[in-house]
């Protein structure tokens, strides 16, 4: 995490983006296909709900799929509910990178994957650092939490409602909590005060199966 991490402003509606996997679009400039016309696909942050309302989710997702395939050449593919997806695997960092044609991109570590039950949908247990206390949007987040104490969780549903973002995050379950994190070495600690969102990323049964196949393939 950098000292100017998310949250950010949505490039389409100019409202707060929390950076939740599968619900927020977060893409760096070099991920966009160079053949895409300037301004057609915006790197940065926005709500996936905004992409769908504008009818550009598929176009934007297709603009970064070549980068995904080039950067993480190990993958499994699938089609669920009419949506194409590709689950990429990074053995070095032990992470999955999920590309979806509906723009619901996400990334999560192997360790976040819940135990596999054959034929059943699953989830990844995620912890996303959404900002540092004292940064541009932290005051709004702390006010929405209703507490400034470390270690006291606040439900994400309440925070989203307090921020007026229920229409951008219609389904959200989990909590936001304030924590201290050391960014320095043990002998020279550099403590930062951060806000961390803990939540579940739903995964359909074929995607869960693909994840475990990829992990077994690394052994």
Q: What is the 3-state secondary structure (H, E, C) of 98-122?
A: EEECCCCCEEEEHHHECCCCCCCCE
The answer to the question of residue 3 being in a domain is: no
Is the distance from CB of 107 to CB of 203 less than 8 angstroms?
A: no
State how far the Cα of 217 lies from the Cα of 39, in Å rounded to an integer: 40
pLDDT at res. 2: 41
pLDDT at res. 119: 67
The answer to the question of residue 179 being in a domain is: yes
pLDDT digits (tens, 9 = 90+) for 24-59: 999 999 999 998 888 899 888 999 999 999 999 999
- Would you place residue 117 in the very low, low, confident or very high pLDDT band (cuts 50, 70, 90)? low
- Would you place residue 138 in the very low, low, confident or very high pLDDT band (cuts 50, 70, 90)? confident
Q: Which of 201, 180, 207 is nearest to 192 (CA)?
A: 180
The answer to the question of residue 1 being in a domain is: no
pLDDT digits (tens, 9 = 90+) for 186-212: 788 778 889 999 999 999 999 999 999
The stretch 131-156 carries a mean pLDDT of: 90
- Would you place residue 148 in the very low, low, confident or very high pLDDT band (cuts 50, 70, 90)? confident
The answer to the question of residue 129 being in a domain is: yes
Indicate whether 132 pLDDT > 70: yes
The answer to the question of residue 87 being in a domain is: yes
- Would you place residue 118 in the very low, low, confident or very high pLDDT band (cuts 50, 70, 90)? low
The answer to the question of residue 163 being in a domain is: yes
Total structural domains in the chain? 1
State how far the Cα of 164 lies from the Cα of 15, in Å rounded to an integer: 9
Range of the domain at 106: 8-218
The answer to the question of residue 2 being in a domain is: no
* Eight-class DSSP state of 167: T
Average pLDDT over the chain reads: 90
- Would you place residue 99 in the very low, low, confident or very high pLDDT band (cuts 50, 70, 90)? very high
**Range with the poorest average pLDDT among 25-29, 60-64, 84-88:** 25-29
Q: pTM for the whole thing? A: 0.89
pLDDT at res. 169: 95
**Range with the poorest average pLDDT among 2-6, 120-124, 164-168, 199-203:** 2-6
The stretch 162-166 carries a mean pLDDT of: 96
In DSSP terms, 120 is beta-bridged to none
- Would you place residue 162 in the very low, low, confident or very high pLDDT band (cuts 50, 70, 90)? very high
Task: Find tokens 């549903």 and name the residue.
Answer: 157
- Would you place residue 182 in the very low, low, confident or very high pLDDT band (cuts 50, 70, 90)? confident
Is the distance from CB of 129 to CB of 1 less than 8 angstroms?
A: yes
- Report strand pairing: 44-47 vs 74-80: unpaired
The answer to the question of residue 177 being in a domain is: yes
């Amino acid at each position: 995490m950098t000292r100017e991490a998310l949250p950010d402003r949505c490039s389409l509606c100019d409202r707060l983006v929390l950076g939740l996997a599968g619900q927020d679009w977060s893409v760096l400039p070099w991920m966009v296909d160079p053949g895409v016309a300037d301004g057609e696909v915006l790197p940065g942050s926005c709500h996936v709900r905004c992409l769908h309302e504008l009818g550009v989710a598929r176009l934007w997702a297709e603009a970064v799929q070549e980068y995904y395939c080039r950067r993480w050449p190990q993958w499994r593919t699938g089609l669920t509910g009419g949506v194409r997806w590709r689950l990429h695997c990074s053995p070095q960092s032990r992470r999955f990178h999920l590309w979806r044609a509906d723009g619901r991109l996400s990334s999560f570590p192997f360790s976040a994957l819940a135990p596999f039950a054959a034929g059943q949908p699953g989830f990844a247990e995620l912890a996303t650092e959404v900002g540092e206390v004292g940064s541009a949007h932290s005051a709004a987040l702390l006010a929405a939490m209703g507490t400034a104490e470390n270690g006291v969780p606040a439900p994400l549903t309440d925070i989203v409602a307090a921020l007026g973002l229920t229409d951008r995050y219609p389904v959200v379950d989990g909590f936001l909590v304030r924590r201290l994190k050391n960014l320095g070495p043990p002998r020279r600690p550099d403590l930062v005060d951060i806000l961390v969102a803990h939540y579940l990323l739903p995964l359909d049964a074929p995607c869960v199966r693909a994840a475990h196949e990829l992990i077994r393939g690394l052994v």
